Chains A and B, each alone.
Chain A
Amino acid sequence: MDLVYLAISATFVNNILLAQYLGNCPFLGVSKKLETALGMAAAVIFVSVLAATFTWMVSTYVLRPYGLEFLQTLTFILIIASLVQLVEIIMKKMSRTLYNALGVYLPLITTNCAVMGIALLIAKKQLPFIEMLVFACTSAVGYGLALVLFAGHRERLQISAVPESLQGTSIALITAGIMALAFMGFKGMA
């Protein structure tokens, strides 16, 4: 039961993008089209879960027992960066279709603070393994959900008459604000 609450809280209430403000750069960059948004969402979910698992293992079995928490930032970013490279190479070899679908988004993910943010949040909350998996997965799904929903809005925005000064990033941010307002409605749930 607690896991269900954790999942709902991570996906909706504390949505990583709209309530914790993580991963905004790619959010604005790839959300112009629904198709690219879907690709990015899938890539983020995939990498986040992998990265969370690895960083969790390192921080639980290496950093914390030996009092090396001050190396956390350094190790986490290195793990994520090398993981992304590794996934890219493996994907290229194993499945051409998967690579064609997700490959282009992978380099962008290293600097996506959502992935690093999820890893850091897990380390901060010191979650156990199962909770960690659920949290990583649902947080990333929440990110993907917001991204895909937002892409839908932006496709509509492109054919509407937006005042010249508001065009581009400006209207995108204001739209995101309205979406965040809607997501605030989930606050009473958990």
Chain B
Amino acid sequence: MSEIIRMVVVLSVIAGFSAAALTTANIQLGPRVDAQIDLYVRGPALERLFHKPAKDVLGNKVVIDVDGVGIPVFYTLQDKVVSTLAIEAIGKGGFGGDLKLMVGIDLIKERQTGIEVVSHSETPGLGARIVEIAFRRQWQGLPIDTPVALTADGGAIDAISGASTTSRAAVNGTNSALDFVRERKAEILKLIAER
């Protein structure tokens, strides 16, 4: 009997100790990890969207809480007025899983400035061509009040040949970002103003 108690006690002590160690490590280093993810994962996409070095825009970040999931929104200011937003959006239904996109929206001109792919796991040569500028260029200058659609669905975006699934995922992601901005614009601007 005492043998069993000893086994349980020793195991629980070890497990408790390791959980405590991990939690401490996570609390100590968590913010640093988040900053690194911003710099290396979102940074390159933001640089291209805003035409500014990543270091200048990464600080301009607010996180909007939607049903318990934090959606990061980056912004640039022009004469103290918010000019461009970049919203992280998930393009559901990609071929190799969901796409992670960054959608640029110019609030002054009320136009889209383009989309950037933060991460994807599409097939090389087909869906992976989503990162090519020839495909993404089609977003530049589109209005922000009408949903985007593929030409096959009566819209303006030519799908990547042989990868309509991926193209549609990108379109879905954009539309979710557009909806998000339309519904939450006041909230986003308020959060930015408070900073």
Contact = CB atoms under 8 A, between A and B. Distances in A.
Nearest to B121: A125
Contact of B95 (A2, A74, A127): A2
Contacts, number: 20
Given A71-B19, A71-B22, A74-B18, A126 B95 contact: no
Interface in A1-29: 2, 5
A65 B68 contact: yes
Interface magnitude class on chain B: 10 to 19
A190 interface: yes
A13 to B, nearest CB: 9
B123 A127 contact: no
B59 interface: no
Interface in A35-78: 65, 70-71, 74
Contact of B98 (A65, A74, A126): A126
A70 B22 contact: yes
B26 interface: yes
Contacts of B23: 70
Contacts of A190: 123
Contacts of B18: 74
A92 to B, nearest CB: 20
B97 A127 contact: yes
A99 B23 CA distance: 40
A152 B26 CA distance: 47
A5 B165 CA distance: 12
Q: Which 8 A-B pairs have the closest CB atoms?
A: A70-B26, A125-B97, A70-B22, A190-B123, A71-B22, A125-B121, A74-B18, A126-B97
20 contacts: A2-B95, A2-B165, A5-B95, A65-B68, A70-B22, A70-B23, A70-B25, A70-B26, A71-B19, A71-B22, A74-B18, A74-B19, A74-B22, A125-B96, A125-B97, A125-B121, A126-B97, A126-B98, A127-B97, A190-B123
Interface of A: 2, 5, 65, 70-71, 74, 125-127, 190
Interface of B: 18-19, 22-23, 25-26, 68, 95-98, 121, 123, 165
